[in-house]
Amino acid sequence: MAQVPELSEDDIKQLLTDHPEWELAREGKAIQRTFQFDDFSETWGFMSRVALLADSHDHHPEWFNVYAKVEITLTTHDAGSNGGAISIRDAKMARAIDALL
């Protein structure tokens, strides 16, 4: 599998400026966001929409769900030199996920 280029520090700063709900995670190798909904049904609907986005982008999030809360982490495992980094794939997914809200 070909290596995916990681975003520059400036690109990551711009991404976080444009999407302030996302924050750096995993020592700068990922971005994450927590979503809070009113109930499980609303949460499940959101997760279903994200799953469809992930398939269309061919880039799948790591996520954790308890009732009305979803934590999403985005990283590109085949970017960077040490097992993952933030790439354009993560930026595109973050933008697409935010557009669902």
- The pLDDT tens digits of the residues spanning 58-83 come to 999 999 999 999 999 999 988 876 77
Mean pLDDT, rounded, of the chain: 93
Q: Is residue 3 part of a domain?
A: no
Q: Are 46 and 37 in contact (CB under 8 A)?
A: yes
Q: Is residue 1 part of a domain?
A: no
Q: Is residue 52 part of a domain?
A: yes
Q: Is residue 60 part of a domain?
A: yes
Count of the separate structural domains present in the chain? 1
Give the CATH number for residue 85: 3.30.1360.20
Q: Is residue 4 part of a domain?
A: no
Q: Are 97 and 50 in contact (CB under 8 A)?
A: yes
Q: Is residue 30 part of a domain?
A: yes
Q: Residue 71's domain spans which residues? A: 9-99
Q: Is residue 2 part of a domain?
A: no
The H-or-E segment that residue 66 falls in is strand 62-66
User: What pLDDT digit, counting tens, does each position of 8-51 carry?
Assistant: 999 999 999 999 999 999 999 999 999 999 999 999 999 999 99
